[in-house]
C-alpha cells in the first residue's frame, strides 16, 4: 500500500527557470495539501486542493506559484522564474475524503529544491 509519493526528491534549478513538483496522494485519498519548509523553520501551509478544485490557497505567494490537482494524475506545484529564496523542502500531504474528522495528514518524503 503505497504512501504519498513525491517526485523528484531533489531538484536543482538556476534562477529564472521553472520548477515542477509532483505529488500522488495515498490510494483512496482525495485531499492534497502542500507545505513549504525553509531551513531552520517549521512547515508553512501553502495550498489545499481537492480533485479539480483549489479549496484554500491562502499560503501561496501571489506571484510565480501555482498548484493544480487534475481529475487524472498527480497534483503539481509549479514555481515559475525561481529565485534563491525558493530553495526549500516542499512537502505534500494527503487525507481521506470527508468523513469523521481525524485531523491526520499523511506526508510524502518531500521534494528538496535548490536554486543556484
Partner 1 sequence: AQSVTQLDSQVPVFEEAPVELRCNYSSSVSVYLFWYVQYPNQGLQLLLKYLSGSTLVKGINGFEAEFNKSQTSFHLRKPSVHISDTAEYFCAVSDGFGNEKLTFGTGTRLTIIP
Interaction between residue 53 and partner 1 (CB under 8 A): no
- Between residues 33 and 69, which has the closer beta carbon with respect to partner 1? 33
Smallest CA-to-CA distance from 20 within 86, 72, 84, 85 is with 86
Q: Which of 64, 66, 87, 109 binds partner 1 (CB under 8 A)?
A: 109
Residue 37, SS3 per DSSP: strand
Interaction between residue 101 and partner 1 (CB under 8 A): yes
Interaction between residue 69 and partner 1 (CB under 8 A): no
- Between residues 72 and 104, which has the closer beta carbon with respect to partner 1? 104
Question: Which residues have CB under 8 Å from 101's CB, separation 6+?
Answer: none
Q: Are 86 and 102 in contact (CB under 8 A)?
A: no
Q: Cell triple for residue 116?
A: 543556484
Chain contacts with partner 1 (rule: CB under 8 A) = 4, 31, 33, 35, 40-45, 48, 55-56, 91, 93, 95, 98, 101-105, 107-110
Amino acid at each position: 500500500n503505497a504512501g504519498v509519493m513525491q517526485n523528484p526528491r531533489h531538484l536543482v534549478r538556476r534562477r529564472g527557470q521553472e520548477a515542477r513538483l509532483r505529488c500522488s496522494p495515498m490510494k483512496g485519498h482525495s485531499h492534497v495539501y502542500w507545505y513549504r519548509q525553509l531551513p531552520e523553520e517549521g512547515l508553512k501551509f501553502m495550498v489545499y486542493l481537492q480533485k479539480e478544485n483549489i479549496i484554500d490557497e491562502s499560503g501561496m505567494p501571489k506571484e510565480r506559484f501555482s498548484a493544480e490537482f487534475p481529475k487524472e494524475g498527480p497534483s503539481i506545484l509549479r514555481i515559475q522564474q525561481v529565485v534563491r529564496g525558493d530553495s526549500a523542502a516542499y512537502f505534500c500531504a494527503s487525507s481521506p475524503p470527508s468523513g469523521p474528522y481525524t485531523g491526520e495528514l499523511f506526508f510524502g518524503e518531500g521534494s528538496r529544491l535548490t536554486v543556484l
